[in-house]
Amino acid sequence: MIARCGIVPPDVLSAKQVFQRYRDLDRPGLREMTEDEDDPDERTDEDRMVLANARSVRIRFIAMLVAASSVGGRRG
């Protein structure tokens, strides 16, 4: 989702709007718009708003911590 939509400030689009945009395969992603892989004449106002305000980021690390007690640790 972040790769497709970037980081969009909540005052620009709500989380629900960003998720709808992510699922809409007819809308260009942030990378397509920044690298001119889409047709600029077909961009909607929302596309232009995302392009002007979204930030593209590279995710380098994702981790998940699981507590030992939730995986069968000692029970009291």
Greater model confidence, 68 or 30:
30
How high is the pLDDT of residue 57?
Answer: 83
Residue with tokens 């002007």, as numbered in its chain: 52
d(CA 70, CA 64): 13
Q: What are 39-66's pLDDT values in tens digits?
A: 999 999 999 999 999 988 888 888 888 7
User: What angle do helix axes 45-53 and 15-23 make, rounded to 10 degrees?
Assistant: 110
> Stretch 28-44: mean pLDDT, rounded?
89
How high is the pLDDT of residue 3?
Answer: 82
The number of beta carbons lying within 10 Å of the beta carbon of residue 25 is 8
How high is the pLDDT of residue 76?
Answer: 56
pTM above 0.75, yes or no: no
